Amino acid sequence: MGFELRPAQALRLLHRTSLSQARSQAPDLTLRQTAILLTIYLEPPPHTVRGLAARLNVTKPVITRALDTLGRMDLIERRRDDADKRSVLVRRTPAGSLYVARMADQFVEEAGALAS
């Protein structure tokens, strides 16, 4: 990034981006759902329910509920791991990739507005 953010600016960036997302036609995600989605898209796979629960320090049912919602929105998909039938792999989708890319674009746009 070409500039440093002070704490108040960082909060303003989060606020402006959140407002932009809330006003858009894109699905509304909770902060936890967003954290899970970004973990899936920004950290290397494979992703499992167990692994996501450990990474976010929450229970597997918390992850399962969030994945249910993200799956209904077509932002992720779940499949049984052929190598370990007890494990469920969480995968990216084209719609999810587009959602995350648009989210990134919103942050860049709002950061640019703060910098000017």
Question: Is residue 43 assigned to a domain?
Answer: yes
Question: Is residue 91 assigned to a domain?
Answer: yes
pLDDT in tens, 32-82: 999 999 999 999 999 999 999 999 999 999 999 999 999 999 999 999 888
Question: Is residue 2 assigned to a domain?
Answer: no
Question: Is residue 1 assigned to a domain?
Answer: no
Per the structure, how many domains does the chain have?
A: 1
Question: Is residue 88 assigned to a domain?
Answer: yes
**pTM for this structure?**
0.88
Question: Is residue 32 assigned to a domain?
Answer: yes
CB 32 within 8 A of CB 55: no
CB 89 within 8 A of CB 48: yes
CATH of the domain at 88: 1.10.10.10
Query: Whole domain around residue 53: which residue ranges?
Result: 7-115
